[in-house]
């Protein structure tokens, strides 16, 4: 008797652990589009289109290699509606004796898998996901006993482990991190290259029609779908990034511009997180370009830090801190998510731009997510539960392992400093420096108080003031609290009053 080899929607890699050692004569590979995974939150339409289409293309690739594949489509009459139900059904259907799967990306899925042995009365093997460079146990070993779990030090260990951008045991160029060179705003004379697009093939067209019918009430637009849904096309996206945008990625990775959602970024997060690309191959390819073609070190190091530093770190932290991590709310933020996070209808142009582009593309780059959308959620005091769900819903690259640490730790400081050394709070001045959003905004970024003042300006100080009992002792916040202490009392009082008024409007879903 053979084994049922389960492959999840974010594990679309031919050498994924669940497929290792497969006997193609007896084993059956299962991929399934199930209601429980597609609807546990109302995922963006383009996210579902991408995953269902990529899964269907992957099933074809497996069959071309001689694998026996059972593929359950969403509307199949015998679709069991859940992963566990599908596994049970196909075990019986094909008279198989065991289940082999790869460690999932989300705690809730792992908890379900761990009940299958008893429920199915057969062996269920959950193999480590070796597509990641650091295994869960590796991160735990690194983290245990440390007072602070800073990504920068984990990243250095990853560089050493891979001998990546290293010379004689030292970092290339003499520094580990070139982030200080990666904070330029976009000049007017720079043209942003066209991002890579693909016309939907017949498989994708069928999925688009399915999503429009079955997920009509989900967030986002399904039209103009142009993402890669095969490994070959995902590799093309990476190659074009290296050819056309890598050289300026470092300089402008933090920049934002109205009507320019793609900028000089790689746009490969959804392909890495679904398995169409792997972190090691991506890292090695970009490193080779540095040595062979002289790509700028600040760009190459900045990109590699995101892949083998930040991405690996947040995955390790997620599993190290779960299941309790999702309940963290250090700042006791309680305000409900405003309606405009779903519509983009707000007079704050930066938020309108980022939300509208997210709705259209299921994508926004990291500074839009952190310093516009996240910054507002932080300083307005939006509840972590609703903010986390929003981020999980709206982005095509979002899975809980990557979303939760980024939002609760980096965006909201809800973990009290486990991930970040300080809250990433900023006034409108930062957004004005890194973008042109403020030039066409209803509010004035230069005004600190009053009806036409940028809300980020007074909300920033309102945030600091209401959280001073929790934040004043933070060693990186001392200077800003000293500045607040030197403010004219009437100036601070005006900003706090404006903040109170704005938050009352926000709570009532009034037009802001």
| Together in a domain, 91 and 187 | no
3-state SS record for 293-326:
HCCCHHHHHHHHHHHHHHHHHHHHHHHHHCCHHH
pLDDT surpasses 90 at 27: yes
**Cα–Cα dist 190/327, whole Å:** 44
Reported pTM: 0.97
Q: What is the pLDDT of residues 468-480, one digit of tens each?
A: 999 999 999 999 9
pLDDT attached to residue 205: 98
pLDDT attached to residue 188: 87
**Cα–Cα dist 246/300, whole Å:** 7
| Together in a domain, 148 and 109 | no
Percentage, residues of the chain above pLDDT 70: 100
DSSP-derived pairing of the beta strands 166-167 and 170-171: antiparallel
Structure tokens at 154: 């984990």
**Cα–Cα dist 362/95, whole Å:** 40
| Together in a domain, 257 and 370 | no
pLDDT attached to residue 245: 97
Q: What is the pLDDT of residues 293-324, one digit of tens each?
A: 999 999 999 999 999 999 999 999 999 999 99
Strand order in the sheet with 28-32: 69-72, 28-32, 3-6, 98-102, 124-127
Of the three residues 102, 127, 152, the one that is the final residue of a domain is: 127
pLDDT surpasses 90 at 6: yes
Q: Is 166 helix (H, G, I), strand (E, B) or coil?
A: strand
Q: At what angle do helices 489-507 and 455-466 cross, to 10 degrees?
A: 100
Q: What is the pLDDT of residues 111-170, one digit of tens each?
A: 999 999 999 999 999 999 999 999 999 999 999 999 899 999 999 999 999 999 999 999
Q: What is the pLDDT of residues 442-462, one digit of tens each?
A: 999 999 999 999 999 999 999
Q: State the average pLDDT over residues 27-54.
A: 97
| Together in a domain, 141 and 117 | no
Structure tokens at 147: 């007072």
pLDDT attached to residue 1: 85
DSSP-derived pairing of the beta strands 28-32 and 124-127: unpaired
Structure tokens at 38: 């597609």
- The number of residues making up the chain comes to 512
Q: How far apart are the first and last CA of the chain?
A: 64
pLDDT surpasses 90 at 407: yes
Structure tokens at 215: 């997920």
Q: What sign for the dihedral angle of Cα 85, 87, 93, 97? A: negative
Structure tokens at 327: 């309940």
Structural domain that includes position 274: 136-193+245-321
| Together in a domain, 116 and 147 | no
Q: State the average pLDDT over residues 229-248.
A: 98
Helix (H) or strand (E) holding 185: none
**Cα–Cα dist 147/145, whole Å:** 7
**Cα–Cα dist 420/148, whole Å:** 9
pLDDT surpasses 90 at 280: yes
Of the three residues 127, 153, 180, the one that is the final residue of a domain is: 127
| Together in a domain, 122 and 261 | no
pLDDT surpasses 90 at 85: yes
- Does residue 228 fall inside a structural domain? no
pLDDT surpasses 90 at 339: yes
What is the longest distance spanned by two Cα atoms in the chain?
Answer: 79
| Together in a domain, 250 and 379 | no
305 contacts 151 by C-beta, under 8 angstroms: no
Closest by Cα among 58, 62, 38 to 49: 38
CATH of the domain at 300: 1.25.40.80
Mean pLDDT of the chain: 97
136 contacts 107 by C-beta, under 8 angstroms: no
- Does residue 494 fall inside a structural domain? yes
Q: Is 9 helix (H, G, I), strand (E, B) or coil?
A: coil
- Does residue 203 fall inside a structural domain? no
**Cα–Cα dist 260/470, whole Å:** 38
Q: What is the pLDDT of residues 391-404, one digit of tens each?
A: 999 999 999 999 99
pLDDT attached to residue 258: 95
CATH of the domain at 399: 1.10.579.10
pLDDT attached to residue 392: 98
Of the three residues 91, 107, 127, the one that is the final residue of a domain is: 127
- Does residue 344 fall inside a structural domain? yes
CATH of the domain at 18: 3.40.50.620
30 contacts 102 by C-beta, under 8 angstroms: no
For residue 346, the cross-strand partners are: none
| Together in a domain, 307 and 413 | no
Cis previous bond, 383, omega within 30: no
Percentage, residues of the chain above pLDDT 90: 99
**Cα–Cα dist 257/263, whole Å:** 8
| Together in a domain, 122 and 178 | no
- Does residue 225 fall inside a structural domain? no
Q: Based on the structure, what is the number of domains in the chain?
A: 3
| Together in a domain, 307 and 276 | yes
- Does residue 213 fall inside a structural domain? no
- Does residue 259 fall inside a structural domain? yes
| Together in a domain, 142 and 71 | no
- Does residue 239 fall inside a structural domain? no
pLDDT surpasses 90 at 189: no
| Together in a domain, 21 and 55 | yes
Q: How confident is the model at residue 361 (pLDDT cuts 50, 70, 90)?
A: very high
Q: State the average pLDDT over residues 202-218.
A: 98
**Cα–Cα dist 285/102, whole Å:** 26
Q: What sign for the dihedral angle of Cα 275, 281, 287, 289? A: negative
């Amino acid at each position: 008797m053979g084994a049922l080899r389960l492959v999840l929607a974010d594990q679309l890699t031919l050498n994924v652990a669940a497929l290792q050692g497969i006997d193609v004569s007896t084993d059956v590979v299962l991929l399934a589009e199930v209601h429980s995974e597609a609807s546990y939150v109302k995922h963006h339409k383009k996210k579902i289109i991408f995953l269902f289409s990529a899964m269907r293309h992957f099933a074809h690739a497996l069959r071309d290699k001689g694998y026996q594949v059972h593929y359950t489509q969403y509307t199949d009459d015998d679709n069991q509606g859940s992963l566990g139900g599908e596994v049970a059904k196909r075990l019986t259907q094909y008279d198989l004796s065991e289940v082999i799967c790869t460690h999932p990306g989300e705690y809730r899925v792992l908890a379900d898998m761990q009940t299958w042995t008893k429920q199915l009365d057969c062996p269920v093997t959950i193999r480590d996901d070796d597509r990641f460079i650091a295994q869960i146990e590796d991160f735990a070993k690194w983290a245990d006993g440390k007072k602070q779990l800073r990504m920068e030090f984990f990243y250095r260990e990853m560089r050493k482990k891979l001998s990546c951008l290293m010379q004689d045991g030292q970092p290339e160029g003499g520094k580990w991190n070139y982030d200080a060179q990666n904070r330029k705003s976009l000049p007017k004379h720079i043209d942003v290259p066209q991002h890579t697009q693909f016309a939907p093939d017949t498989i994708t067209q069928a999925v688009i029609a399915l999503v429009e019918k079955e997920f009509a009430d989900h967030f986002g637009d399904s039209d103009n779908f142009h993402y890669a849904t095969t490994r070959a096309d995902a590799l093309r996206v990476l190659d074009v990034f290296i050819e056309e945008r890598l050289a300026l990625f470092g300089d402008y990775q933090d920049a934002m511009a109205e009507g320019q959602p793609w900028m000089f970024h790689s746009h490969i997060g959804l392909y890495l997180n679904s398995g169409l690309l792997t972190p090691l191959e991506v890292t090695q390819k970009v490193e080779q370009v540095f040595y062979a073609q002289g790509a700028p070190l600040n760009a190459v190091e900045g990109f590699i830090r995101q892949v083998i530093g930040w991405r690996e770190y947040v995955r390790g932290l997620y599993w190290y801190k779960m299941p309790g991590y999702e309940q963290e709310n250090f700042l006791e933020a309680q305000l409900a998510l405003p309606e405009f996070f779903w519509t983009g209808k707000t007079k704050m142009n930066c938020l309108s731009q980022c939300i509208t582009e997210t709705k259209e593309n299921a994508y926004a780059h990291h500074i839009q997510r952190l310093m516009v959308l996240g910054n507002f959620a932080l300083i307005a005091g939006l509840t972590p539960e609703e903010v986390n769900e929003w981020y999980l819903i709206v982005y095509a690259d979002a899975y809980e392992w990557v979303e939760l640490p980024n939002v609760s730790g980096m965006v909201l400081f809800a973990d009290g400093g486990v991930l970040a050394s300080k809250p990433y709070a900023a006034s409108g001045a930062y957004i004005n420096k890194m973008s042109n959003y403020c030039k066409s905004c209803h509010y004035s970024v230069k005004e600190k108080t009053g009806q036409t003042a940028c809300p980020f300006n007074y909300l920033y100080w309102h945030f600091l003031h209401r959280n001073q009992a929790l934040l004043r002792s933070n060693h990186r916040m001392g200077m800003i609290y000293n500045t607040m202490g030197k403010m004219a009392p009437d100036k601070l009082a005006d900003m706090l009053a404006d903040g109170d008024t704005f938050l009352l409007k926000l709570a009532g879903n009034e037009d802001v």
